[in-house]
Chain A
Amino acid sequence: MDVAIVGLGMHPFGRTPSMSGLEQGAAAARAALADAGTDFKRMEFAFGGSQDSGNADSLVNLLGLTGLQFTNVANGCATGGSSLNAAYSAIKSGQYDVGLVVGFDKHDRGAFNPKPADWGLDDWYGETGLMLTTQYFGMKIQRYMHDHGISRETLIRVAEKAFRNGSLTPTAWRQTALSWEEIKNAPMVSEPLNKYMFCSPAEGGCALIVCRADIAHEFHPKPIYLKTAVVRSRNYGSFEVFSPSQPTEVADSPTVTASQAAFELAGVGPGDIDVAQLQDTEVGAEIMHMAENGFCAHGDQEQWLADGVTEIGGKLPVNTDGGCLANGEPVGASGLRQVHEICVQLRGEGGARQVPNEPKVGYTHVYGAPGISGVNILAR
């Protein structure tokens, strides 16, 4: 049984002081149900997640105590990807006909401050100042620039594109385009990445209604088909965050293994993708993920960015809504925002940021600590 996405809902990302994270999740769920022309009573199951805003299944207090199966998902930055993966399996197996996937979060300002014990590490690691994701991102792109000839100009180009696309996206948090000089001269955070090159923890909610492909038109005239949903964790040797040591040989990241599996299962290749969302926790991540997902060779990004290949009008538009950089990262919702945006583009409802020539096949990639990657391939 094929799987379709027939409802899209979002509570705008950014800051909403008047609403809890849970309330933002409920708002997103109601929007998705309305988009699918249905109601919560019709939902047979739900998968949902939030990192800092409580149990997703508390949503039934706001949406209705209907007795449905509601499973909480907690998989770090890949929470949204893992929720959609679970929903995909629930429909694919024939167990259920229609259900809800939802994610939301509301984080404090500033960098995340994870506890070493939650990651299997002793306290010294955090106390001496090594427990920061920002350091890892700086070190990974630093080595990548050294190995593959990526320049600082290319880092700036990615940030420039993100905020320009954000300025075209009504639900984005950062809606002001930034100039080359503003980005270049921003305060340094973790060499070589400065303030405008990182996304920030944020707030927001996102929801999707998922159903059997053969009943999709009962809900929406333009169903988007979820061709495959794959999640992978790290192999020995993959260079990941919160690693006091790394082995001699550097292995492929989980993004590479998830991407390869997804292309194989969907029966398409990188050249078939018309629009993509690639995890851009910072600008270096977007650059590395272009190659890790198979879209170009390592080092080609330098020319691709200079030529505008990943712009909205380019050959492979990437992060058309401004990605994490312009939307911020409410962890539970972020992976679903990517799928939401690809569905909007494939429906042709992107407005000022619509990819031209009626894109047919889309791709989403989420990546998170401590080395998890989720890839979805979607088509209309």
Chain B
Amino acid sequence: MPDAKPLHEGLFSWPALSPSLIGSRCLDCGEHTFPSQDACRACSGQNMASADLGNQGTLWTWTVQSFMPKTPYHTDETPETFRPYGVGYVELACGLKVESRLKENTPEELKIGMPMKLEIISVRKDDDGNDLLTFQFCAAEETN
């Protein structure tokens, strides 16, 4: 029975009812990183802990990938079925800005400062028919 699994382990909590991004936090200086790493980019320390980065943020900047990238891009798409996708940095509650694919893919739908939420999508199927998963952000409902 085909299943679904992360394309790369450790980027987000899975399986989970409400998946969130996983990064690391420096116990010496408090700075966050994504993905996790075992040394700190800010203070060069090696005292890192895993950190739940949450699943919501605001759009800090964006663009649209309008043509199908060459390798190493690897999905089940063909030049005929390729669908442009948004790319942006989403600022999370901890202040870290994470680069991500965006569901929205037109300038009309994307605006700096708009609220975003995490979702998990399939990148492609592996040889056994399993979905390989990654994260993207999409527009969140405004909570006025």
Q: Is A127's CB under 8 angstroms from B95's CB?
A: no
Q: Known interface pairs A130-B87, A246-B96. Does A138 touch B63 (Cβ–Cβ under 8 Å)?
A: yes
* Chain A window 348-373, contacts with chain B (Cβ cutoff 8 Å), 1 for yes, 0 for no: 00000000000000000000000000
Give chain B interface residues in 1-57, CB to chain A under 8 Å.
Answer: 7-8, 11, 23, 31-35, 41-42
Query: Most chain-A Cβ atoms within 10 A of its Cβ — which of B31, B61, B66, B101?
Result: B61
Other A-B pairs beyond A126-B71, A191-B64, A245-B96, 12, CB < 8 Å? A115-B72, A124-B134, A126-B74, A128-B101, A132-B69, A138-B63, A188-B64, A188-B66, A189-B66, A190-B65, A245-B33, A247-B96
How long is the Cα–Cα vector from A135 to B107 in the complex, in angstroms? 14
| A243-B8 CB under 8 A given contacts A127-B72, A188-B64, A189-B66 | no
**Is the C-beta of B99 less than 8 angstroms from some C-beta in chain A?**
yes
Q: Which residues of chain B from 49 to 95 have a CB within 8 Å of any chain A CB?
A: 60-67, 69-75, 85, 87-89, 94-95
Q: Check B7–A124 contact: CB distance below 8 A.
A: yes
Contact residues in B for A126 (Cβ distance below 8 Å):
71-74
Q: Does A267 contact B (CB under 8 A)?
A: no
Q: For residue B73, which residues in chain A have a CB less than 8 angstroms away from its CB?
A: 126-129, 131
Proximity bits, A61-94, B CB within 8 Å = 1, else 0: 0000000000000000000000000000000000
Cα distance A123–B95 in the bound complex, in angstroms: 26
Contact with B along A44-76 (1 / 0, CB 8 A): 000000000000000000000000000000000
Residues of B whose CB lies within 8 Å of any CB of A are 7-8, 11, 23, 31-35, 41-42, 60-67, 69-75, 85, 87-89, 94-101, 107, 112, 123, 134
Q: Do the beta carbons of A123 and B98 come within 8 Å of each other?
A: no
Bitwise interface map of A from 159 to 202 toward B, beta carbon under 8 Å scored 1, else 0: 00000000000000000000000000001111110000000000
A135 to B65, Cβ gap below 8 A? Answer: yes
